[in-house]
Amino acid sequence: MALEDAKRQVDQAFDRDDLKGLSFENTFGGATSFLRRRYTKDLTGVDLAITGIPFDQAVTNRPGTRLGPRAVREASALQTYEPPMYWDGFSPLEEFAIVDYGDLAFDYADIPAFPAALSDHIRTILNAGAGSIAIGGDHYVSFPILRAYAEKFGPVALLHFDAHSDTWPDDDMDRVDHGTMFYKAVKEGLIDTARSVQVGIRTVNEDTLGVTTITAREVHESTPAQIAARLKDIVGDAPVYLTFDIDCLDPAFAPGTGTPVWGGLHSWQAAAILRDLAGINMVGGDMVEVSPPFDTTGATAVAGAHVISELICLWGWTRRQAG
């Protein structure tokens, strides 16, 4: 059946009749929406919207993450043929109406207007009754997204995978910086710090603002199952926003990023931890900081696409029809 489908399927991003289902079109052809989901701004009946945020004006080192959403969509084409591994047969693409909501439209030269535009973009998705998973862009984008989520859910548990804490002090709430936005999110009351945790950290910032920190070395000296159990214990049943900076991975596995730091997580560790988080009350998330110009192999975008696929599974696990 898959072979016959492959012979006739093309441009499923525009042509697919059903929002649910696997896709079998050739990986090397066709329009590259995320996981070949339909491109649409119509949220009627949609369970989950994937959206790109091509913004990198907040970076402190290497730029290029504005090109991340496009590269990650292309990399995702290889994951559309079958249910994800290690999820006990759970197939979110077949069970949920998932769409590619396209990218945020914004004026690249009007940076002060960007945060409100992004909050409104996510608010539209949430008000339609859908969840959202965003493809960055630099990590600043999480801050305006969290504002929209906190409006709906109240302060959320932040589950943050990163090399950096991104909580360096910055009391200018209008300043756009991808290293200070979680400091601001704490100060604005968007995050429940007692239920929040950062994983993979390997840069110094002594003030954790009450957020639990698990360093990369702690991950290496533990098993993924132990780390996941600790994370689940911290977040409990709180609504969780999961943000994954691709530089949480070691540069050996994700060289295409703006601020690489050695000693990071291996791909297999991140994959196992994410899978073992099944059961958390994940209400939304993002994957950020993929910068294709600094990765000639495309490995970073591939890693980013896999991360988002795992986030889709986490979002859907507590909402699935059975099991």
pTM of the model: 0.96
Residue 7 confidence (pLDDT): 77
Topology of the domain covering 2-317: Arginase; Chain A (3.40.800)
Whether residue 72 contacts residue 33, with contact meaning beta carbons closer than 8 Å, is answered with: no
In a structure prediction context, what are the per-residue pLDDT tens digits for the chain, which is 323 residues long? 576 677 789 999 999 989 999 999 999 999 999 999 999 999 999 999 999 999 999 999 999 999 999 999 999 999 999 999 999 999 999 999 999 999 999 999 999 999 999 999 999 999 999 999 999 999 999 999 999 999 999 999 999 999 999 999 999 999 999 999 999 999 999 999 999 999 999 999 989 999 999 999 999 999 999 999 999 999 999 999 999 999 999 999 999 999 999 999 999 999 999 999 999 999 999 999 999 999 999 999 999 999 999 999 999 999 997 44
DSSP class of residue 164?
A: S
Place of tokens 């604005």: 188
From the list 120, 186, 113, 191, the residue with the least C-alpha distance to 150 is 191
Q: How far is CA 224 from CA 23, 168, 268, in A?
A: 31, 28, 9
From the list 152, 148, 237, 230, the residue with the least C-alpha distance to 197 is 230
Alpha carbon distance 12, 46 (integer Å): 17
Place of tokens 């992004």: 118
Whether residue 115 contacts residue 58, with contact meaning beta carbons closer than 8 Å, is answered with: no
Residue 3 confidence (pLDDT): 65
Angle CA(80)–CA(81)–CA(87) in degrees, nearest 5? 85
Residue 323 confidence (pLDDT): 43
Residue 322 confidence (pLDDT): 47
CA distance between the termini of the chain: 26
Alpha carbon distance 264, 208 (integer Å): 19
Residue 5 confidence (pLDDT): 72
Whether residue 114 contacts residue 176, with contact meaning beta carbons closer than 8 Å, is answered with: yes
Whether residue 285 contacts residue 315, with contact meaning beta carbons closer than 8 Å, is answered with: yes
